[in-house]
């Protein structure tokens, strides 16, 4: 058989051609597919390829700086060295973290958090391991890079507050944006999506957040499939946040904080000529930097449980019964209503009888006959029971509002209190009871329902000093644009009434016998006019009064009276108004007035006041205190030997 085959053509020709045809058909299909993908759908796939390789990254802008009126930095940005870790590049994250812990301080809870976060996110997402590292730490990590795959040092900007404690309440602080912030803000700014992006949490940082934050820039980077950055394609820098200049004088602020050390106290100093807030200090302070770094929970609890309430901004949020500092308001209301004359006297037997109730004057024996000047100088309560009875709650309330009490002043801080300056309608509405004469008596001496913040009291004092509608201003310049001073309109209070009240205030702190005579300023051009106040935080029962009122020193701290003092200076050409509250400090004349006087002098002199400003008999004790507070060297050094 095989012999016959020899003459035949190979039988595979037909089948080979069939198979070849089939193959060519498949090849044709492949070619067609290539045309389809590469020619027809080219644009589509080209777009996808670009999308694949190009990632957008947000560049956080530099947050606006905050300065005081003299250019001292209150809130700045500094380089924040941190290390991040990428799971994909770290062969064995636990091992790497163990190694890292030997190089830098890495608490076990941070280690657990990092492992958790890395599990929860994509393999290529960098997870922050540690922030706020020192340059030395970063250098050590970099030096050990070969045994730390996936560990990457980064540098970013982080907020810091060089003045720390002394401006914490005004400037506030920033912290990492939280889920709650995101819900609350309804802010579409993509920056907030950056993990651990810092936003203002309180104070000006919070209220002026949008101005300070700035605009995000972006960076287009080419990435590999693993998410690794290969190169930067282009970059659009963001716009830095607006810089802020506050009206604060940090020198005065520092002095005030030092002067109030050890007390739960608050002071507000206003420039009466334009409403600029010179100092707004609440003691004790706290360190805002510890919030930026992430506060530890013992530290946080200590702040919360401190009965001196360091986190509270008492100058604007604290509402206190103004006590006798309110007497100018009552006097002005009565004078303007025409129900009293400055020269008219009221007899003070030490109490005022109202039906069966007896309203006491602070001086048990009474002041005898007192006119307006003496009523202020000696702070006679009976005089003001009478004035309040005559003029009535509604007119007192109206005058209080004209003087800036019971009004929420618009300052860039959270929880600015409105205080309370009640009238008859208020009591009817809120308590469902009619206003009584007894309520008016209490109103007359700034007790009862009456509440005001140190800020409001300083505004009140400034308005009495000028007769103009002084309105507080905290932001001096925003992004290079000076913020307008609120127009100062006359309050419509007669000069005669104002002068009578100012004269009384002058007597308080300049005439022997005045309640603040000890706290006078002994420089003729800077004489201070003030008013002391002591507000009760408890009721004194008849039995206690009979047995003799318990002295403040014998009471537990939190039941002692609040000490208050308001003043303006210089008397003949007012520049600054001050309101001082020392919580549970006792009497206004002893606890509040000296502190306020010192702070006022510091503002007036623009530096540590010379000893000549003080009454001669106090100089040695004041010098001692200055040395104690660190304002002065024990042995004064001659500045200029020549």
Partner 1 sequence: MSMMSDTRRSGPSGLGKIFALNWPLIVLITAIACAGFTMLFSVAGGALDPWARAQMIRFAVGMIAMVIIAMIPIRFWLYMAPVAYLFAMGLLVLVEVMGHVGMGAQRWIDLGFILLQPSEVMKIALVMVLAAYYNWLDVDKVSHIFWVILPLILILLPVGLVLKQPDLGTALLLVMGGGAVMFLAGVSLWYFGTALAAAVALVTAVLKSQGTDWQLLKDYQYRRIFTFLDPSADPLGAGYHITQAKIAMGSGGLSGRGYMQGTQSRLNFLPEKHTDFIFTTLAEEFGFVGSTALLGLYTLVIVFCIFSAISNRNRFGALLTGGIAVTFFLFFAVNMGMVMGLMPVVGVPLPLVSYGGSAMLVLLAAFGLVQSAHVHRPRIRD
Closer residue to partner 1 (CB): 51 or 429: 51
Catalytic: which of 268, 283, 324, 379?
Answer: 324
5 contributes a contact to partner 1 by CB under 8 A: yes
Would you say 13 or 616 has its CB closer to partner 1? 13
Nearest CB to partner 1, comparing residues 20 and 513: 20
Q: Which of 413, 409, 79 is nearest to 246 (CA)?
A: 413
- Report the distance separating Cα 278 and Cα 259, nearest Å: 16
Question: CB atoms < 10 A from the CB of 342, how many?
Answer: 18
Site string for partner 1, 31-70 (x = CB under 8 A): x-xxx-xxx-xx-xxx-xxx-xx-----------------
Stretch that binds partner 1, among 9-17, 193-201, 276-284, 299-307 (CB under 8 A): 9-17
3-class SS string, 504-536: HHHHHHHCCCCCCHHHCCCCHHHCCEEEEEEEC
353-392 positions binding partner 1, by CB under 8 A: none
- In angstroms, the CA 641 to CA 263 distance is 39
Residue choice 119, 134, 178, 224 for contact with partner 1 (CB under 8 A): 224
CA proximity to 266, closest of 274, 276, 275, 256: 256
Closest separation between CB of residue 190 and partner 1, Å?
23
Instruction: Give whichever of 70 and 228 is closer to partner 1, judged by the CB atom.
Output: 228
Would you say 27 or 182 has its CB closer to partner 1? 27
Using the structure block, give the residue that is written with the tokens 């993509």.
Answer: 190
Q: Give the shortest CB-55-to-partner 1 separation in angstroms.
A: 11
The reply to whether omega before 503 is within 30° of 0 (cis) is: no
* Distance of alpha carbon 85 from alpha carbon 118, whole angstroms: 8
Alpha carbon 32 to its chain centroid, in Å, reads 70
| 16 near partner 1, rule: CB under 8 A | yes
Q: Which stretch binds partner 1 (CB under 8 A): 13-21, 376-384, 462-470, 493-501?
A: 13-21
Q: How far, in Å, CA of 333 to CA of 397, rounded?
A: 9
Q: Which is nearer to partner 1, 222 or 306 (CB)?
A: 222
Tell which one of 117, 222, 243, 623 touches partner 1 (CB under 8 A).
222
- Residue 11 interacts with partner 1 (CB under 8 A)? yes
> Residue 1 is encoded by which pair of tokens?
């058989």
Q: Is 19 a residue that touches partner 1 (CB under 8 A)?
A: yes
Residue range at the interface with partner 1 (CB under 8 A); choices 157-165, 223-231, 307-315, 475-483? 223-231
Considering only the stretches 7-15, 177-185, 516-524, 611-619, report the one whose residues sit in contact with partner 1 under the rule CB under 8 A. Answer: 7-15
Of the pair 49, 155, the CB lying nearest partner 1 is at: 49
Return d(Cα 335, Cα 357) in angstroms, integer.
Answer: 27
Distance CA 594, CA 544 (A): 30
Interface pattern 584-623 for partner 1 (x via CB under 8 A): ----------------------------------------
**165: buried, middle or exposed (CB in 10 Å: 19+, 13-18, 0-12)?**
middle
125 vs 185, which CB is nearer to partner 1? Answer: 125
Contact with partner 1 (CB under 8 A): which of 147, 226, 236, 542?
226
What residues does 353 pair with on adjacent strands?
A: 358
Among 1, 56, 481, 543, binds partner 1 (CB under 8 A): 1
**324 annotated active-site:** yes
Binding mask 421-440 for partner 1 (x = CB under 8 A): --------------------
Q: What is the DSSP string of 375-422?
A: HHHTT-HHHHHHHHHHH-HHHHHHHHHHTT-SS----SSS-----B--
The residue with tokens 């006959």 is: 369
* Selected binder of partner 1 within 23, 178, 193, 369 (CB under 8 A): 23
Q: Taking the CB of residue 343, how many other CB atoms lie within 10 A of it? A: 9
Measure the CA–CA gap between 558 and 553, rounded to whole angstroms.
Answer: 11
In the shown chain, the binding pattern of residues 230 to 249 toward partner 1, with x for contact by CB under 8 A and - for none, equals x-------------------
CB-nearer residue toward partner 1: 26 or 495: 26
Q: Nearest distance from residue 154's CB to partner 1, in Å?
A: 22
**Structure tokens, 404:** 């800036």
Strand pairing class (229-236; 217-223): antiparallel
Report d(CA 515, CA 507) in Å as an integer.
Answer: 9
The site for partner 1 (CB under 8 A) is made up of 1-3, 5-6, 9-13, 15-20, 23-24, 26-27, 29-31, 33-35, 37-39, 41-42, 44-46, 48-50, 52-53, 222-226, 230
| Residues tagged active-site | 324
């Amino acid at each position: 058989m095989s012999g016959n085959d020899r003459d035949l053509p190979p039988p595979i020709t037909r089948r080979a051609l069939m198979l070849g045809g089939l193959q060519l058909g498949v090849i044709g299909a492949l070619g067609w597919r290539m045309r389809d993908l590469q020619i027809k759908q080219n644009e589509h796939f080209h777009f996808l390829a670009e999308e694949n390789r190009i990632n957008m990254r947000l560049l956080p802008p530099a947050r606006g700086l905050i300065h005081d009126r003299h250019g001292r930095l209150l809130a700045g940005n500094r380089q924040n060295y941190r290390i991040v870790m990428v799971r994909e590049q770290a062969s064995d994250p636990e091992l790497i973290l163990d190694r890292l812990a030997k190089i830098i301080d890495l608490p076990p809870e941070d280690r657990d958090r990092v492992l958790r976060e890395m599990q929860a996110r994509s393999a290529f997402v960098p997870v922050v391991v540690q922030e706020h590292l020192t340059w030395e730490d970063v250098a050590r990590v970099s030096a050990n890079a070969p045994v730390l795959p996936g560990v990457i040092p980064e540098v970013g900007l982080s907020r810091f507050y060089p003045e720390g404690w002394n401006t914490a309440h005004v400037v506030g602080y920033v912290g990492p944006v939280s889920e709650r912030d995101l819900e609350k803000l309804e802010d579409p700014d993509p920056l907030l999506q950056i993990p651990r992006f810092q936003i203002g949490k309180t104070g000006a940082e919070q209220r002026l957040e949008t101005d300070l934050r700035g605009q995000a820039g972006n960076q287009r980077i080419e990435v590999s499939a693993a998410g690794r950055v290969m190169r930067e394609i282009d970059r659009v820098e963001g716009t830095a946040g607006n810089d802020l200049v506050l009206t604060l004088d940090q020198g005065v602020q520092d002095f005030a904080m030092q002067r109030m050390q050890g007390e739960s106290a608050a002071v507000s100093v206003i420039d009466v000529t334009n409403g600029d807030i010179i100092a707004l200090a609440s003691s004790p302070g706290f360190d805002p930097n510890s919030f930026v770094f992430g506060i530890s929970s013992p530290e946080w609890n200590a702040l919360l449980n401190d009965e001196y309430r360091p986190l509270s901004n008492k100058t604007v949020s604290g509402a206190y019964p103004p006590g006798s500092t309110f007497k100018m308001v009552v006097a002005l209301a009565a004078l303007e209503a025409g129900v009293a004359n400055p020269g008219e006297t009221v007899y003070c037997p030490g109490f005022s009888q109202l039906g069966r109730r007896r309203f006491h004057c602070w001086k048990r024996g009474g002041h005898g006959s007192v006119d307006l000047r003496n009523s202020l100088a000696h702070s006679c309560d009976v005089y003001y029971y009478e004035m309040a009875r005559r003029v009535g709650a509604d007119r007192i309330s109206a005058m209080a509002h004209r003087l800036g009490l019971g009004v929420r002043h618009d300052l860039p801080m959270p929880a600015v209190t409105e205080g309370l300056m009640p009238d008859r309608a208020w009591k009817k509405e809120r308590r469902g009871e009619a206003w009584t004469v007894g309520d008016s008596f209490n109103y007359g001496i700034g007790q009862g329902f009456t509440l005001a913040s140190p800020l409001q009291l300083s505004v009140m004092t400034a308005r009495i000093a000028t007769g103009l509608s002084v309105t507080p201003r905290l932001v001096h310049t925003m992004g290079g644009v000076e913020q307008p001073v609120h127009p100062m309109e006359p309050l419509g209070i007669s000069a005669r009434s104002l002068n009578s009240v100012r004269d009384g205030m002058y007597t308080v702190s300049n005439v022997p016998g005045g309640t603040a005579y000890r706290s006078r300023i002994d420089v003729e051009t800077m004489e201070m006019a003030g008013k002391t106040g002591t507000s009760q935080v408890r009721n004194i029962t008849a039995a206690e009064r009979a047995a003799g009122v318990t002295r403040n020193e014998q009471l537990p701290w939190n039941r002692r009276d609040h000490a208050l003092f308001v003043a303006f200076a210089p008397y003949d050409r007012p520049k600054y108004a001050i309101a001082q509250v020392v919580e549970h400090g006792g009497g206004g004349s002893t606890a509040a007035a000296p502190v306020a006087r010192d702070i006022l002098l510091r503002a007036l002199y623009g530096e540590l006041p010379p000893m000549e400003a003080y009454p001669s008999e106090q100089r040695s004790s004041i010098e001692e205190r200055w040395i104690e507070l660190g304002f002065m060297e024990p042995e004064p050094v001659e500045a200029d030997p020549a």
